[in-house]
Amino acid sequence: MSTGTDAHTPRRTFAIISHPDAGKTTLTEKLLLYGGAIHLAGSVRAARARRHATSDWMDLEKQRGISITSSVLQFPYAGTRFNLLDTPGHQDFSEDTYRTLTAADCAVMLIDAAKGVEAQTRKLFQVCRLRNTPIVTFVNKLDRPGQDPFDLMLEIERLLNIHCVPVNWPIGMGSSFRGVYDRMSHKILLFQRVGDHGQSVVDMREMSVDDPSLPELVGETLWKSTRDEIDLLDAAGEEFDVEAFREGKITPVFWGSAMTNFGIEPFLARFKEFAPEPAPRNSSRGLVHAEDKNFSAFIFKVQANMDKAHRDRVAFMRVCSGSFQSGMWVRHVRLGKDIRLARPQQFFAQERTLVDEAYPGDVLGVFDPGMFRIGDTLLTGESFVFDAVPRFSPEHFGRLRVKDPSRRKQFLQGLSQLVEEGTVQQFVVPGQEHSPVLGVVGQLQFEVLEHRLKGEYGVEVYLEMLPYTHARWVDGAEATVDNFEGKGYGAAVFDQDNKLVVLFKSDWALSVAERDFPKVSFHNTAPIVIAAAK
């Protein structure tokens, strides 16, 4: 089955970043609704919701009402193909978000109008800045009381050190929120309130800013204050510059309510105009451009058991250059061998569609018999490797004990698959190979690990927490097991690539080790490991 688009269809690949509970899953649903990909939007936030959000397909997500794994969602809008990489909102799963952001060309930063810039937003924003990812800001929850819009933009500029340029402007807030003023077209866009809690598209009325009926429609007092704000913005003379946005110098700001659908369509229409095309990617040979003739892609996510009936494993790859054809042979650079990519699929959360072809910006899922890792490069032509997808230092550590020893085989199989998927990192203590140390960035990841081992592999486990707080990959002539083991720093272990890692018990222990071994380099991300290109 074809994708329904060809090489000439524009692609826009983006992710949404936010602090938990800013409305990310709701916004995702509404973008799909307005793109025509779904006909009824669901919400994980309302206890009375009769259906779960499309992107949250894992059982635990449905139980907890949070997003804990990335989903890949494709939808068309006005002749453009959007690839939406929906990421976890909970901070305990930020590593999955970091990895997914490497596959995006743009990020939509979602801000709660009342709470402003929150901790997780700042953290994810900095990751985007490190990669020079252009960032669009959508201020959400205008249907509730919130901060003054001018104050909110000043807060964004002060805390994130990026200049805000409003593309539209809110008309009211809370119960008086009526719509937005589009600064580029000089039109007033008013929305019709409906009683289905935002499950369907709302009617939008477009009017001239000088329409004499506006004071009556909006309310005399509200329209006067809105008109004063519009005049103030116009007097500032600042217009949106698409190139400055793509260079990361400014962030365009939109206002709306994902819950009520106010402002969603104007956002999507403008976002289509200036969201960047598939961007060049850094590699060992330099920049790889979308226009390059040879096919290239990298793996940014591995997900086990998307189809519980078949216990399958899917590797998600971002196409970077050339064209992909179903059944084509490609070079797996890390393994140094040619492989055939048959039956590629595109996803709508848990739903799958076979595809015949794909182009730069597209995201595909390919069956993984156990040969793929996060960060792998696939290509045709001259060998190179894309910049590695980062593996971050865990902050929580523990060991798992199987409750039923007869299920140990299933436990080892499940743990191995979930480690390769990136759900948890595994470290081996010399002489204790059968009792690995597990590390996670967020404590809730251990809960997910236990839940998935039980639900997907039929294995119940005990979790024994360990007293470590940092992992550091070490290198240098003095980076040996003997220098760190039994000296009070922590534990010397090896990661899945047999690289030496020291697990430290405290900030103080780490600082003492750095003082004692000035010739040793301590890294909080894993080193790049590849086979020689063949």
CATH code assigned at 443: 3.30.70.3280
Q: Which of 379, 405, 435 is the last residue of a domain?
A: 379
The answer to whether the beta carbons of residues 89 and 21 sit under 8 Å apart is yes
Instruction: Report the pLDDT value the prediction gives residue 92, as an integer from 0 to 100.
Output: 47
- Say if 119 falls within a structural domain: yes
Instruction: Report the pLDDT value the prediction gives residue 164, as an integer from 0 to 100.
Output: 96
For the chain, give the mean pLDDT: 85
DSSP-derived 3-state class of residue 486: coil
Same domain, 31 and 140: yes
The answer to whether the beta carbons of residues 298 and 389 sit under 8 Å apart is yes
CA distance 410 to 17: 35
- Say if 388 falls within a structural domain: no
Q: Give Cβ neighbours of residue 5 (< 8 Å, ≥ 6 apart).
A: 76, 81
Instruction: Report the pLDDT value the prediction gives residue 382, as an integer from 0 to 100.
Output: 94
The answer to whether the beta carbons of residues 27 and 138 sit under 8 Å apart is yes
CATH code assigned at 200: 3.40.50.300
Instruction: Report the pLDDT value the prediction gives residue 88, as an integer from 0 to 100.
Output: 61
533 band by pLDDT with thresholds 50, 70 and 90? very low
Q: Which of 12-26, 151-165, 349-363 has the highest mean pLDDT?
A: 151-165
Same domain, 417 and 517: yes
The pLDDT of residue 529 is above 70: no
Same domain, 199 and 333: no
Structure tokens of 353? Answer: 């569609």
Q: Give Cβ neighbours of residue 277 (< 8 Å, ≥ 6 apart).
A: 10, 11, 12, 105, 290, 361
200 band by pLDDT with thresholds 50, 70 and 90? confident
Same domain, 198 and 286: no
- Say if 161 falls within a structural domain: yes
DSSP-derived 3-state class of residue 526: coil
Q: For residue 29, which phi and psi values (nearest 5 degrees)? A: -60, -40
487 band by pLDDT with thresholds 50, 70 and 90? confident
CA distance 32 to 96: 22
The pLDDT of residue 248 is above 60: yes
Same domain, 360 and 441: no
Share of the chain above pLDDT 90, in %: 56
Share of the chain above pLDDT 70, in %: 86
Q: CA Rg, the chain, in Å? A: 25
CA distance 190 to 435: 62
The pLDDT of residue 73 is above 90: no
Instruction: Report the pLDDT value the prediction gives residue 354, as an integer from 0 to 100.
Output: 84
46 band by pLDDT with thresholds 50, 70 and 90? very low
Same domain, 312 and 227: no
Instruction: Report the pLDDT value the prediction gives residue 309, as an integer from 0 to 100.
Output: 55
Least confident of 119-128, 347-356, 511-520: 347-356
- Say if 533 falls within a structural domain: no
The pLDDT of residue 106 is above 90: yes
Same domain, 99 and 114: yes
**Segment 431-455, tens digit of pLDDT:** 888 889 999 887 878 888 888 899 8
486 band by pLDDT with thresholds 50, 70 and 90? confident
Amino acid sitting at position 80: T
71 band by pLDDT with thresholds 50, 70 and 90? low
By residue range, what is the domain housing residue 88? Answer: 11-274
Same domain, 127 and 256: yes
The DSSP output letter for 189 is E
The answer to whether the beta carbons of residues 489 and 498 sit under 8 Å apart is no
- Say if 528 falls within a structural domain: no
Same domain, 207 and 302: no
**Which burial class, exposed, middle or buried, applies to 17 when counting CB atoms under 10 A from its CB (0-12, 13-18, 19+)?**
buried
Q: Give Cβ neighbours of residue 297 (< 8 Å, ≥ 6 apart).
A: 317, 318, 319, 320, 324, 330, 364, 377, 378, 379
97 band by pLDDT with thresholds 50, 70 and 90? confident
The answer to whether the beta carbons of residues 254 and 137 sit under 8 Å apart is yes
Same domain, 55 and 76: yes
Higher pLDDT, 237 or 374: 374
Question: What torsion do the CA atoms of 510, 511, 512, 514 make, to the nearest 10 degrees?
Answer: 90
- Say if 3 falls within a structural domain: no
Q: Which residues pair with 346 in a beta bridge?
A: 353
> How many domains would you assign to the chain?
3
CATH code assigned at 313: 2.40.30.10
Compute the C-alpha angle 72/96/502, nearest 5°.
155
- Say if 529 falls within a structural domain: no
Same domain, 468 and 453: yes
Q: Which of 204, 239, 274 is the last residue of a domain?
A: 274
Instruction: Report the pLDDT value the prediction gives residue 163, as an integer from 0 to 100.
Output: 96
Please state, as a whole number, how many other Cβ atoms lie within 10 Å of the Cβ of residue 99. Answer: 24
- Say if 137 falls within a structural domain: yes
Same domain, 43 and 189: yes
Higher pLDDT, 313 or 28: 28
Amino acid sitting at position 475: D
